[in-house]
């Protein structure tokens, strides 16, 4: 049994904590870490965790912890991952991987040098619908891929730490780094150019303090292999959690997403149809989170490469950074500028 410690017991941290507390074969939730006492104690009480830590440095000194799951705000990922690798612990790190490609390089090198696994939290790759779409593309069912369109709209109010887009990236990284990864996954290529536009449409009260904050963006991309991409992302949309993907090929197309929360539809005499909307990513991707955790543990146990590598995390950061620069500087950004 691998002993896992979840570091950061917030929204995403609790998803991972619940997965490791009984849903993943070969691993158990041995500890949780969070400086915020209420988050830490609530997690421990809900999941019956024997050990809690207020300071992540103490996790690194615990010889019983085999692997850490890093789910703190993004700006802390690099320091925690590098320290975990130095302590010989396998690492699962949430997206966005870090604050720059240089930080990603440091994290990749630290894990490689220590011989520990590194997996990044792009759980959509473990979503069965996405997997089937990829299989259909690889089998040539829609001809050659021409255009990949991906959108994510999140319902929740932004957290305070997200308003500084130089640190959090804003929705391009916070919500849509998943879309960036899906574009790489389905084009099988790296980005060549990005053009993004965006604005703050829902939180005018923070505009004076955070003039760069945007809650909605639209982006067009080209890839090295000639394929095209489109992404739109938004935060605090309130109507639900909306995640859709469309792949247009030379001989067909594939649509993934817009799954209703329940499988019932109400049709009434006034000609209207109603069906429940997904309200959370925690629901839409609940199975994918468990499958990604299982894949992480399996990669450790069988000593294989993780299915979402540090390189995947880094290349998504490249896309996110180019998108943010394009949005802030109002111009097309080319990968060749780097």
Ligand X SMILES: NC(=O)c1ccc[n+]([C@@H]2O[C@H](COP(=O)([O-])OP(=O)(O)OC[C@H]3O[C@@H](n4cnc5c(N)ncnc54)[C@H](O)[C@@H]3O)[C@@H](O)[C@H]2O)c1
Applying CB under 6 A, the residues found at the interface with ligand X are 7-13, 33-36, 39, 56, 71-74, 76, 94-96, 121, 123, 159, 174, 281
Complex with ligand X: residue 249 or 257, whichever CB lies closer: 257
Instruction: Give the CA count within 13 Å in the CB-facing half-sphere of 56.
Output: 24
CA separation, residue 77 to residues 16, 94, 137, 173 (Å): 16, 8, 34, 14
The least CB distance from residue 202 to ligand X, in Å, is 18
The least CB distance from residue 248 to ligand X, in Å, is 26
Helix, strand, or coil (residue 222): strand
The β-bridge partners of 70 are: 7, 93
Complex with ligand X: residue 50 or 115, whichever CB lies closer: 50
The least CB distance from residue 297 to ligand X, in Å, is 17
Cα 155 to Cα 78: distance, rounded to the nearest angstrom: 28
Complex with ligand X: residue 35 or 252, whichever CB lies closer: 35
Complex with ligand X: residue 110 or 227, whichever CB lies closer: 110
The β-bridge partners of 193 are: 222, 334
CA separation, residue 245 to residues 128, 162, 172, 259 (Å): 13, 25, 16, 11
The least CB distance from residue 267 to ligand X, in Å, is 33
Complex with ligand X: residue 12 or 110, whichever CB lies closer: 12
The least CB distance from residue 313 to ligand X, in Å, is 11
DSSP 64: T
């Amino acid at each position: 049994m691998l002993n896992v410690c979840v570091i950061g017991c917030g929204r995403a941290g609790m998803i991972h904590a619940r997965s490791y507390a009984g849903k993943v074969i070969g691993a158990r939730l041995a500890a949780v870490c969070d400086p915020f006492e209420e988050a830490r104690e609530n997690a421990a009480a809900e999941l019956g965790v024997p050990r809690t830590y207020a300071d992540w440095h103490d996790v690194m000194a615990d010889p019983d912890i085999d692997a850490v799951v890093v789910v703190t705000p993004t700006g802390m990922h690099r320091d925690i991952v590098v320290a975990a690798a130095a302590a010989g612990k396998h690492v699962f790190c949430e997206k966005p991987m870090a604050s720059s490609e240089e930080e990603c390089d440091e994290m990749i090198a630290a894990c490689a040098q220590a011989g520990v696994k590194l997996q990044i939290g792009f759980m959509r790759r473990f979503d069965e619908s996405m997997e089937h779409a990829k299989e259909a593309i690889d089998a040539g069912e829609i001809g050659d891929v021409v255009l990949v369109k991906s959108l994510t709209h999140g319902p929740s109010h932004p957290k305070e730490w997200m308003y500084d887009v130089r640190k959090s990236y804003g929705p391009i990284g916070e919500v849509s780094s998943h879309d960036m990864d899906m574009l790489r996954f389905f084009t099988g290529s790296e980005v060549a150019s990005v053009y993004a536009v965006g604005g703050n449409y829902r939180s005018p009260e923070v505009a004076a303090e955070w003039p760069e904050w945007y809650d909605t963006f639209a982006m067009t991309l080209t890839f090295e292999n000639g394929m095209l991409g489109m992404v739109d992302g938004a935060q605090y949309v309130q109507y639900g959690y909306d995640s859709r993907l469309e792949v247009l090929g030379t001989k067909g197309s594939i649509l993934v997403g817009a799954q209703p929360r329940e499988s019932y539809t109400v049709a009434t005499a006034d000609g209207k149809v109603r069906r429940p909307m997904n309200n959370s990513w925690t629901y839409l991707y609940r199975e994918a989170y468990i499958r990604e955790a299982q894949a992480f543990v399996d990669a450790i146990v069988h000593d294989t490469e993780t299915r979402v590598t540090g390189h995947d995390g880094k290349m998504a950061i490249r896309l996110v950074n180019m998108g943010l620069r394009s949005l802030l500087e109002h111009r097309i950004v080319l990968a060749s500028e780097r």
